[in-house]
A = this chain, B = another copy of it.
Amino acid sequence: MSLRLSLLGMLSSHSMTGYDLKKMADNTIAKFREAQTSQVYRELNYMEDIGWLTSVIEIQTEKPNKRIYSITPTGREAYLEWLKESPLDEEKLNVSVFLMKTFFAGDRSVKENLDIFKQFKQACQRKLAEIEASFRELAEFQIKLPEHQAHAPYWQLTSNFEIAFYNMCIEWADKCVKAIEIQGAK
């Protein structure tokens, strides 16, 4: 789903071939979501079927012909709607999807971006609170299963990771807000 929308996002600034999209994805969003060639072509077919894209074949003599995809108004609408969704509208806080959207955030207004990053921060703070709660649950679980003693210290390490992760996200979100404010002031 999010690969689909990312391809759409790339096509929203340029018409391109599947081949170009694959290369662009490798250079940009690959860290959050890899794009297999086969999946790229499948998604393009699908989006053409549902009317988000149209394609034209360009005949070349020295090189293989290429099929150039362009976004349609319906496609652009779908893309902007996806971008607009805040991390709270999505069923759960999915950080890698959030990062993919950040990659396309230039297609949102500065105000929208400020709001979204602030919401993201709050969502992370709530996550931290949840982790504390599940910490207690895990402790109860440990009491019920005393034979798991050897495992307990490592369970703690995974909880520590989560806490460090969301704290990092919060700090990052703060820095993003500042950066966007400076950008917006220009």
Stretch from A41-49, A53-61, A67-75, A97-105 at the B interface: A97-105
Could you show 30 A-B contacts with beta carbons less than 8 Å apart?
Answer: A13-B147, A13-B148, A24-B141, A27-B137, A27-B141, A28-B138, A28-B141, A28-B155, A31-B134, A31-B162, A99-B161, A103-B151, A103-B155, A103-B158, A104-B151, A104-B154, A105-B154, A105-B157, A106-B150, A106-B151, A106-B152, A106-B153, A107-B150, A107-B151, A153-B179, A153-B180, A153-B183, A160-B176, A164-B168, A168-B168
The answer, among B27, B106, B160, for a CB contact under 8 Å with A175, is: B160
Residue A165 at the chain B interface, CB threshold 8 Å = yes
Q: How many copies does the complex hold?
A: 2
Q: Which residues of A contact B (CB under 8 A)?
A: 13-14, 24, 27-28, 31-32, 99, 102-107, 113, 131, 134, 137-138, 141, 145, 147-148, 150-158, 160-162, 164-165, 168, 171-172, 175-176, 179-180, 183
